[in-house]
Structure 1
Amino acid sequence: MTEVIDGNAVAAGIREGVADCVDALTGADVKPGLATVLMSADPASETYVSMKQRDCEEVGIEGIHVEVDPDAPAEELYATVDELNDDPSVHGVLVQLPLPEHVDKREVVRRIDPAKDVDAFHPENVGRLVAGDPRFKPCTPHGVQRLLEATGVDPEGKEAVVVGRSDIVGKPMANLLFGRDEGGNATTTVCHSRTDDLAEHTRRADVVVAAAGVPEFITGDMLSEGAVVVDVGVNRVERDGDSTLVGDVEFESAERKASAITPVPGGVGPMTRAMLLYNTVKAAALDADVDVPLP
């Protein structure tokens, strides 16, 4: 019988561990702080930020929220990031994407202090990940790793296929899967929009991570019997006159072939938010040079 992996349950366990870390840090006179910066009037972005702030409140992290007018010059956002970098009460800085067209996203990422870059997007943190010495692991790929661990799936020696090559998910996910650390050591293939015969690659995989942003394009006939399928995609589609969320995997057909599969919603999404909290308490512990057991 196929296991439907409960991301909400795994994330809840991590949040409990984060709360314990916050208590330990508070006992050492350290209050972890996460700053979220919003430069958008997009309702989805506003919702994401409010959820992250709520998560902080639930585990005891100090949440700081800053809004920048979407029509303001890019320099105003840069100045906001600089101020947060200099604020000792802030241990993590997250600038919510997407940004207005007149703002250079790469410049914003480069301005965040790498020691406060809890998204792990700064070039220094990307380089450290590739070199096998990560300060922080990117939240979504790390969340996928933890889901596999919770499901009892060890990628070592297995064939893994990552579908998608984005800087946020695909590339770091591949690095984690073939890296030498625990949760890695898989033989890893990265597929993308230019891959010839995608199904040829996915059918030989023991683990498939779908992160291409295309609704339900991986179907059951593209999978091997007993594969573990992690669906990172979140796509809103219209169906029978209603709006609904679907992943990059067509769930019903994939569930018939997979040994374990993540749902959408309720799979990877909660893990991304949990690992952001994890990175924030790790940043606070590193900054204060306090040794606390991370969950």
Structure 2
Amino acid sequence: MTQARLMDGTALARRIVEETAKRAADLTERTGSAPCLATVLVGEDPASVTYVRMKRNRCRTAGITSRHVPLPADTTTEQVVATLRELSADPGVHGILLQHPMGPHIDERAAFEAIAPQKDVDGVTFASFATMSFGLPGFVSCTPGGIMRLLDEYGVDPAGRRAVVVGRSAILGKPAGMLLLARDATVTYCHSRTTDLSAAVREADIVVAAVGRPRLIRGQDVKPGAVVIDAGYSPGNVGDVDFDSAVERASLITPVPGGVGPMTIATLLEQTVDAAARQLGV
């Protein structure tokens, strides 16, 4: 069997960011206000610090102003909520990104819900999940949104296909399944309690691996010709899929890195400009 084609998220993300930069420049010229993304980081976890720095650098590339709000590791839930409500009320801020995960002492859901829906460009609130699920105007969770853009780029129509989503997190697995369902896929969610995961995956025309367990999906589990989207990442550039074996059976597959990751950031920037345009009335 021919090896799978790689789904190049880096190249597609670059094009999206270039288009987003043009829109941001036009918006700034027309309104006198540049789109602004506020990033909030609790503590100094090295990975989180790196992610936030990367996102702020991409903002500069796209002509988006970034405002960073660092908070000490011992910040309470109440303090995080107060910070997010303040940013939500600030007309100079158009989008808000709360970097997660946070410490176990913080109620993450309460923090997310302090973000105004019109500024939830990361798609993490109840309101965003609801509008996404019902196909109404709003913001999608960035990683699932990026996954759908990749499928479109490579001509993969989910309609009528069996899609298996491995993982059920509120901002990745669950919304990915809902977006696929909205495109008429038949969706199965799998998770840590699923019996015989391999059997479920073998039925899938589209596999979305989003569980955070390195090399959980093996090549022998992949249906020949399936489309494999690896949204996992573990140290050492390892995804949730055993790439070397899966690439021999899939028709399309995302690499790690260079697949889903760049699309997540590109979607965040695009939605920030969308949010600014709505708030500025243009």
Give the deviation of 1:26 after TM superposition.
1.3
| Deviating 4+ runs (over 6 angstroms) | none
Select 1:112's aligned residue among 108, 111, 115.
115
Q: State the distance in 1 between where 2:224 and 2:81 align.
A: 50
Distance 2:139 2:9 in 1: 21
State the identity %.
Answer: 49
Kindly indicate whether the alpha-carbon contact (under 8 Å) linking 1:128 and 1:134 is maintained by their aligned counterparts in 2: yes
Q: Which runs of 5+ in 2 are unaligned?
A: none
Cα separation, partners in 2 of 1:72 and 1:196, compared to 1, 3 Å = closer
Aligned match for 1:259, one of 251, 265, 273? 251
State which of 243, 255, 270 in structure 1 corresponds to 2:262: 270
Shift of 1:223: 1.1
- After superposition, the C-alpha distances for 1:209-242 in whole angstroms (9 at most, x for unaligned) are 1011111011111111111100000012xxxxxx
Are 2:8 and 1:6 aligned?
yes
TM-score (norm. length: structure 2): 0.96
Contact 1:68–1:76 (8 Å) recurs in 2: no
Aligned match for 1:247, one of 236, 239, 257: 239
Of 9, 24, 27, which residue of structure 1 is paired with 2:26?
A: 24
> 2: CA distance between counterparts of 1:101 and 1:249?
28
Secondary structure of 2:34 counterpart? coil
Query: Measured at CA, do residues 253 and 285 of structure 1 come closer, stay the same or move farther in structure 2, by a change above 3 Å?
Result: same
Q: CA deviation at 1:116?
A: 0.4
| 2:50 paired residue number | 47
Name the SS of the counterpart of 2:248 in structure 1.
helix
The separation in 2 between residues aligned to 1:26 and 1:118, in whole angstroms, is 18
Q: CA deviation at 1:258?
A: 0.5
Partner of 1:220: 219
Residue by residue, what CA displacement relative to the aligned partner does 1:230-273 show, whole Å, maximum 9, x if unpaired? 0000012xxxxxxx120000001100001110011111001101
Name the CA distance, whole Å, in 2 between partners of 1:70 and 1:196.
39
How far apart are the structure 1 equivalents of 2:257 and 2:146? 14
The number of residues matched between the two structures is 279
CA distance in 1, matches of 2:163, 2:83: 40
Query: Which whole-Å CA distance do the structure 2 matches of 1:102 and 1:199 have between them?
Result: 36
**How far has the Cα of 1:194 moved from its partner?**
1.2
Q: 1:38 is aligned with what amino acid?
A: L
**CA contact under 8 A between 1:37 and 1:96: conserved in structure 2?**
yes
1:78-227 matches, cutoff 5 A? 78-179=81-182, 184-227=183-226
> What is the CA-CA distance between 1:134 and the residue it aligns to?
4.2
Runs (5+) with no aligned partner, structure 1: 237-243, 291-295
Mapped partners of 1:139, 1:147: distance in 2? 12
In 2, Cα distance between equivalents of 1:124 and 1:78? 17
Look up the SS of the partner of 1:174 in the other structure: helix
1:80 to 1:191, Cα distance in 2 relative to 1, 3 A? same
Residue identity opposite 1:273 in structure 2? I
Conserved? CA contact 2:77–2:110, under 8 Å: no
Structure 2 letter corresponding to 1:201: A
Report whether the alignment pairs 1:70 with 2:48: no
The question of 1:60 aligning with 2:52 is answered: no
Q: Return the match for 1:15 from 14, 17, 23.
A: 17
Write the distance in 1 (CA, Å) between the matches of 2:181 and 2:211: 19
Check whether the contact 1:22–1:61 (CA below 8 A) recurs between aligned residues. yes
- Native 8 Å contact 1:178 1:186 kept in 2: yes
**Distance in 1 (alpha carbons) for counterparts of 2:174 and 2:137:** 14
Cα offsets for 1:172-211 (capped at 9, x unmatched): 00000010xxxx1111111111112112221121111101
Q: SS of the residue aligned with 1:38?
A: strand
RMSD: 1.1
TM-score w.r.t. length of structure 1? 0.92
Contact 1:141 1:169 in 2 (8 A): yes
Report if aligned partners of 1:125, 1:134 keep a CA contact under 8 Å in 2: no
What SS does the aligned partner of 1:249 have?
coil
